[in-house]
Amino acid sequence: MSPLSVYIHVPFCAVRCGYCDFNTYTATELGGGGSQAEYAANAMREMDLTLASDRAAGYDYERVSTVFFGGGTPTLLPADDLVAMLEHLRTLIPLADDAEITTEANPDSVTRASLSRLAAGGITRVSFGMQSAVPSVLATLDRTHDPEKVPQAVAWARDAGLDVSLDLIYGTPGETIEDVEISVKSALACGVDHMSAYSLIIEGNTAMARQLRRGELEAPDPDDMADKYELVDDLATADGLSWYEVSNWARTPAQRSRHNLAYWRGTDWWGIGPGAHRHRDGLRAWNVKHPSRYARMLGLGEMPVADSEQVAAEDRLVERIMLELRIADGLAAEVIPVERRPMLAVHRDRGHLDPVALDAGRAVLTRSGRLLADAVIRDLVP
C-alpha cells in the first residue's frame, strides 16, 4: 500500500504549435473513434482496467496524492468531463485530503464559469501555458492566445480559489533578452504562486525544425539561452519565488508542484490516455499513441498498452541521479557510485555544487551548476 500519482493525458489541441512534439491531435486529425466526446468514458474505462491489472499483480494503493490533467489542452473538454474523470478515480482509490489536483490550460480555453466548475469539482490548481507576453514570439511559436488575456484568466482562476502557475518558454528564434524580461515581468505581475520557464528544444519532427532546416529560422544560441535563464532566475527571486527544480520556481514550499516532484523522486504513477506512461516499482509501460486505436482496444476490454519494460537496477540508479540532482533538495552523495564520487569534489571546486550542502552529505546544484546540469550529471552516473 503506497501513495499514487495519476497523470491523465488529454491529447486534443485547437491548433498544433510548430515547436510541439507531444502526442496531440486536432479534431481534423482524428477518425475512427477516439473523439473528444467519448474521451472521458474511455479514460475511466482505462482506470478500471489499470486498477484490476495492478491488483492482480499484488499492488494496491492507500490513496492518490496528486492528479495532473496534461496534454494537449485538457480544458478543450467540458469542465464536467474533467470532473467526471476525477470523481471516477475517487471511487477506485481514495484521494488524499490534501490532494493536489492540477489541470493544464491555455488562457483562451477557459471562462470564469468553467474555472469555477473545475474548482467546485475538486481541481485545486491550474497551470496556464502563457509561453510569452510578446506577440511576435507567440506568432513564431504558433500560439493563438492574446497575451493580454492572461491576467484575466489568472484573475478568474484566483476568484475560483485555484492556485495558479504560469508556464514560459525562452529561446524562441528571434526572441531578444528584452522580450524575455517583458514576459517574466508580465507573469510575475499576475501574482502567480508558481512559474515554470523551459528553454526551447526544437525536436526533429516538428514544423519548427523544418523551418530551421530551410534556413527560415536561426537556431538558439547556448550562451544566449544561459543569459536568459539567469535573467528569469534573477527576476523570479527578486519577486519572492525560489527555485526548487532547474526550470521551476514557487513562492512557498507548499506551492511547489507535488505532482512533478513525484516524477523527479521516482515514485509510482499511473499514466492514463493515449501515449501516456506509467511506472510501478521499476516496471514502466506506455500506451498506444493514437486516440482511435486507444479507443478500439478499450472497447475490446484490453489494456491499451503498446509495450513495457522492467528497468534494470543500474538504469534506475542513473535515472535517480539525473532526476534528483535537478531539484533544490539535491541528492544524497552516498547514492553516487563510489568510483564516481571524486567528481563531486571536482564540481564543487568548479562552483557547480554547493560546498556547504556537500559537507552535509548532499549534492546540490549552484546556479552555475544548474546551467551545466547535464554535464555534471554525466560525470556522476556510472
Cell numbers given for 147: 497575451
What is the per-residue pLDDT for 205? Answer: 78
pTM for this model (two decimals): 0.93
Query: Tell me: the pLDDT tens digits for 147-179?
Result: 889 999 999 999 999 999 999 999 998 999 999
Residues 200, 169: Cα–Cα separation, whole Å: 6
Cell numbers given for 43: 479514460
148 or 28, higher pLDDT:
148
Query: Tell me: the pLDDT tens digits for 345-358?
Result: 999 999 999 999 99
Residue 18 has pLDDT above 80, yes or no: no
Residues 364, 263: Cα–Cα separation, whole Å: 18
pLDDT band at residue 265 under the 50/70/90 scheme: very high
Residues 53, 332: Cα–Cα separation, whole Å: 34
Residue 3 has pLDDT above 70, yes or no: yes
Q: Is the peptide bond before 122 cis (omega within 30 degrees of 0)?
A: no
Residues 104, 161: Cα–Cα separation, whole Å: 16
Residue 32 has pLDDT above 80, yes or no: no
What is the per-residue pLDDT for 28? Answer: 67
What is the per-residue pLDDT for 133? Answer: 96
What is the per-residue pLDDT for 326? Answer: 96
Contact 190, 164 (CB under 8 A): yes
Report the mean per-residue pLDDT for the chain: 93
Contact 304, 297 (CB under 8 A): yes
Residue tagged 507535488 (cell numbers): 258
Q: Which helix (H) or strand (E) holds 41?
A: helix 36-56
Tally Cβ neighbours within 10 Å of residue 88.
16
CATH topology assigned to domain 2-264: pyruvate-formate lyase- activating enzyme (3.80.30)
**Share of residues in the chain with pLDDT > 90 (%):** 82
Query: Tell me: the pLDDT tens digits for 104-134?
Result: 999 999 999 999 999 999 999 999 999 999 9
Average pLDDT over residues 373-379: 95
Residues of the chain with CATH 3.80.30.20: 2-264
What is the per-residue pLDDT for 33? Answer: 67
Q: Which helix (H) or strand (E) holds 227?
A: helix 222-238
pLDDT band at residue 302 under the 50/70/90 scheme: very high
